[in-house]
Amino acid sequence: QAVENVGYSAELIEDEQKRREKQQIQAQHEIRQRKWQAIVALVLGFGLMIWMLAGGQTEVTPENRINWMIVGLATLAVMAFTGGHFYQRAVKNLIKKTATMDTLVALGTGSAWLYSMVVVLVPDFFPQNSRHLYFESSSMIIGLINVGKMLEAKARQRSSQALERLLDLTPKTARIADESGEREIPLSNVQPNMILRLLTGDRVSVDGIVIQGSCWIDESMLTGEPVPVCKNTGDKVSAGTLVTDGTLLFRAEQIGNNTTLANIIKLVRQAQSSKPKLGQLADKIAAVFVPVVVVIALVAALIWYAVTGQISYSFVVLTTVLIIACPCALGLATPMSIIAGVGRAAELGVLVRDADALQKAADADTIVFDKTGTLTKGEPKVTALYTFNGFSKQQAIQLTASLEQGANHPLAKAVLDMAKNVTLLEATDFNTLKGLGVSGVIGRNNVLVGNRTLMERNQVETQQAIQHFHLESERGATVVFLAVDQQLAAILAIRDPLRDDSADALQRLHKQGYQLIMLTGDQEKTAQAIAKEAGIERVIAGVLPEGKAKVIAQLQQEGHNVIMVGDGINDAPALAQANASIAMSSGSDIAVETAELTLMRHSIHGIADTLSLSKGTLRNMKQNLFFAFIYNSLGIPIA
């Protein structure tokens, strides 16, 4: 009831699927409705304007009065169809004794039509030089504002779609394991302390603790890191994460709205709904502007009536003030700047998803970067290879890749990518050693590939590689050892390398005066290594999605205007919380949908270009608003 009292409709829908379907239908309906309303109004408005500019008769004469009367009635029908919602809300505002931009639009367009229609019906009532018609103005104003309403509806739909994609990460069923065996049950039937089974390719249904088995789980939606994590007994698993290899049993703990994924969804929804819109500022201005304009119009009309004694001239003055106060120029000043800015952004490889984004980005003083996939390439690569005991690099690559071709180990892909042009050998007696690496026989040689612990357990001497091991570890790399017949052959450093132009682009942003911060879910050591290489002084590491949003909120409380740059599901709450947000096009769909700006080229230089463009757009916007305000301010006393 409270929602309906302020001019909106509301209903309670308990079924989640029905809610999503109804919301999607309503969003599509509103977009189509605003689109057709804009088209119909603009066709009539531009048609009349072009006809007048082409030399059409604009004065009312006995011969053309019927024609103009038909035009007036047609305009009224178009105004009712395309702008009825403005007039309905204006009436509700009047009843509540308040005013918004809807009130100003209804007042201006209604006055223009009424004045024009009176001129058509009784032209002799007005002085000869005041018999002007404004049918096209009423139609065009409504059409242009409907274009803005359509774009706003599309932006809301994109925000909703971002949340829907997050919801779709949760599977609809879970595989329960109890005394009667294993079977699938609806997710809604899962209760705390139930024992659930995970297999390769499954998405985790609820948060829980591993009680048996082990597997590799892709937690990039939480941490942003591309390398899957090995989960063993006692480790925590989170809803929405993906099993890449292995099987395990886990005990359900947090279910439904209490899971980590549900918390991410809640954070995104809260941040998006709390963002201030330009329309709110316009409504605040209108709440003061409308009463002032009405008072000025009435006072002016009374003064001219007292001076001239002509009711007709007083009506002309009254109507002219109301028409000149209609926010035509003020309403177009911002959209025209944004349209030009959006077009230029597209040329620079930047997709603008929110019309307000360029303006908000121009006010930023702090840029927060996610690490993985934003500053780095987002996939592990072999960045260094050291050989020992007479083995060549070619031999090391061939032996390591030959053994890893049978592995589902998360680092195997990086090794195989390095060996694309190498002939691989057949490996026999292949074994995956949980948490250590892999082993096998190639030719007549026993080969081990894994971590330092695997080497120590098999009495492989690693002292000669210790210096390289520590050096690469400090750089944030995962170091993989290769041993052949209990003899160290090589070590490989695998890490997610910095993008080629990240350091130069960050230096450019630093020179422009921005505070640069790295915010990542990765461990401190790896984050510091990447930050040092990139030239970023401040690092906040080991932060989960809800923590990222809190960091952004804390920076905002300190008085900073923050831009968040990210690419993963785990960045969505922070992207939504920031004053402006930028996503990499190579990132997750959810990050791209949540962000207001998307970089279509894989270059951090695009951010520097975007910020320069946003400042230019804001400067042009202020110039337009200044001249529009001067136009309205000077126009009222002149009228």
Q: Catalytic amino acids?
A: 370
Helix (H, G, I), strand (E, B) or coil at 599: strand
Radius of gyration of the chain (CA): 33
Task: Report the amino acid identity of residue 268.
Answer: V
Burial of 33 (0-12, 13-18, 19+ CB in 10 A): middle
| Tokens of residue 221, six digits | 């939606």
Q: For residues 516 and 531, give the distance between their C-alpha atoms in angstroms, rounded to a whole number.
A: 10
Backbone angles phi, psi at 558, to 5 degrees: -80, 0
Which residues neighbour 236 within 8 Å (Cβ) at sequence distance 6 or greater? Answer: 207, 208, 209, 210
Task: Using DSSP bridges, classify how beta strands 445-450 and 478-484 pair: parallel, antiparallel or unpaired.
Answer: antiparallel
Which residues neighbour 161 within 8 Å (Cβ) at sequence distance 6 or greater? Answer: 593
- Do the beta carbons of residue 563 and residue 361 sit within 8 Å? yes
- Do the beta carbons of residue 126 and residue 151 sit within 8 Å? no
Residues in the chain, how many? 639
Q: For residues 55 and 562, give the distance between their C-alpha atoms in angstroms, rounded to a whole number.
A: 53
Q: For residues 170 and 206, give the distance between their C-alpha atoms in angstroms, rounded to a whole number.
A: 8
Task: Report the amino acid identity of residue 552.
Answer: I
Direct distance between the N- and C-terminal alpha carbons of the chain, in angstroms, rounded to an integer: 43
- Do the beta carbons of residue 427 and residue 442 sit within 8 Å? yes
Helix (H, G, I), strand (E, B) or coil at 404: helix
| Tokens of residue 49, six digits | 């304007």
Q: For residues 220 and 595, give the distance between their C-alpha atoms in angstroms, rounded to a whole number.
A: 18
Task: Using DSSP bridges, classify how beta strands 580-584 and 562-566 pair: parallel, antiparallel or unpaired.
Answer: parallel
* Torsion 370-374-376-378 (CA) sign: positive
